[in-house]
Amino acid sequence: MTIACRPARREDVAAIVRLLADDGLGAEREVVSDPPGEGYLAAFDEIAANPRALLAVAEDAAGRIVGTLQLTFIAGLSNHGAELALVSAVRIDSSLRGQGLGEQMMAWAMDEARARGCASMELLSHASREAAHRFYERLGFAKSHVGMKRTLD
Amino acid sequence: MTIACRPARREDVAAIVRLLADDGLGAEREVVSDPPGEGYLAAFDEIAANPRALLAVAEDAAGRIVGTLQLTFIAGLSNHGAELALVSAVRIDSSLRGQGLGEQMMAWAMDEARARGCASMELLSHASREAAHRFYERLGFAKSHVGMKRTLD
């Protein structure tokens, strides 16, 4: 199955939220509706206006949104000022997994990051997502770091 | 020992690069000089112009730069559009470790993130930095994720 990846448009937001919710860990925190809630649209507008963010979708041949991911480009002082790309919120339609869509989407994301001159790409993946870790290892990522989180109240 | 945290200024760049290099993993990749290399200054200018980035330093009572960290504020669609804060490049002068400077600096960073309305904070820490993991766990962070990286060529 071949997909086309491109930056997300505002009319994709409902489909993206559906993908975020279509997931063991995200199901309880997202609110799926069409049209999407104002919070999601406001977040989309902020991401779209940010030159260092790229929210992307993957479309199938019929124009249906079947995947999403987000890139954040971070200019650090380290490594002589090289930018790195953080990839997050990677989701594939659960009915279409195992068909190479994730590989195609991540290959596109890595090409986008290279085109900007990014020296590296990184991500946090929940410790319980062992299939995802193997997927990223096949794509050349190493589990070299721990990913730590806390809520802020 | 009490420190004051504040956004970095261009004249702090040489001191920040020294802190980044004063580190087991960073020593071989940074180039320390005063004035700093143009690549570092260009990266600083890009960070300073980015409303979603905050490069910070900690000063001691004599105005000496003794610590640094960087925050990146990421607006995702997830969690109803809440922003999260990624903290990276956390360094304390190696001669001053164990005196609570890191705790003060991270407390300041969490307050800055809360003031922006961030719902959570996250970081990647090299798997070998076990003392750092314990430090972040004391500050309420959980090792809930793996941190994966690859270079892009």
Under a CB-based contact definition with an 8 Å cutoff, are residues A79 and A43 in contact? no
Position A130 scores a pLDDT of 96
pLDDT category at B97 given cuts 50, 70, 90 is confident
More confident residue, B79 or B105: B105
Is some CB atom of chain B closer than 8 A to the CB atom of A117? no
More confident residue, A107 or B34: A107
Position A24 scores a pLDDT of 66
Touching A: B residues 54-113, CB under 8 Å: 55, 70, 72, 74-81, 85-86, 88-89, 110, 113
Q: Which of B12, B50, B68, B78 to mutate to test the interface with A (most CBs of A within 10 A)?
A: B78
> What is the token pair recorded at B71?
């925050």
- Residues paired with A88 in a beta bridge: A70
Position A44 scores a pLDDT of 96
Q: Do A127 and B139 touch (CB under 8 A)?
A: no
Looking from the CA of B60 toward its CB, the CA atoms found within 13 Å total 13
Size of interface A-B (CB pairs under 8 A): 215
Q: Return the residue of A nearest to B21 by Cα.
A: A78
Place of tokens 């060529």: B153
Position B28 scores a pLDDT of 67
Question: Out of A12-26, A134-148, B43-57, which region has the weakest mean confidence (pLDDT)?
Answer: A12-26
Position A61 scores a pLDDT of 94
Q: Do A77 and B40 touch (CB under 8 A)?
A: yes
- Rounded Cα–Cα distance for residues A57 and A16 (Å): 8
Position B98 scores a pLDDT of 86
Strands A83-92 and A120-126, sheet pairing: parallel
pLDDT category at B152 given cuts 50, 70, 90 is very high
- Region for residue A95 given its phi and psi (left: phi exceeds 0; alpha: psi -120 to 50; beta: otherwise): alpha
Instruction: Indicate the residue of A16, A81, A120 with minimum beta-carbon distance to B42.
Output: A81
More confident residue, A39 or A141: A141
Position B23 scores a pLDDT of 75
Please check the confidence at residue A26 and state whether its pLDDT lies above 70: no
More confident residue, A22 or B81: A22
Chain A residues inside the 8 Å CB shell of B80: 29-31, 37, 39-40, 43
pLDDT category at A132 given cuts 50, 70, 90 is very high
Please check the confidence at residue A4 and state whether its pLDDT lies above 80: yes
Position A28 scores a pLDDT of 67
Please check the confidence at residue B18 and state whether its pLDDT lies above 90: yes
Under a CB-based contact definition with an 8 Å cutoff, are residues A33 and A14 in contact? yes
Please check the confidence at residue A84 and state whether its pLDDT lies above 90: yes
B152-to-A81, B23, B45, B149 alpha-carbon distances in Å: 15, 24, 24, 10
* Interaxial angle between packed helices B101-115 and B130-138, expressed in degrees from 0 to 180 and rounded to the nearest 10: 60
Position B79 scores a pLDDT of 73
**What's the whole-number average pLDDT of chain A?**
93
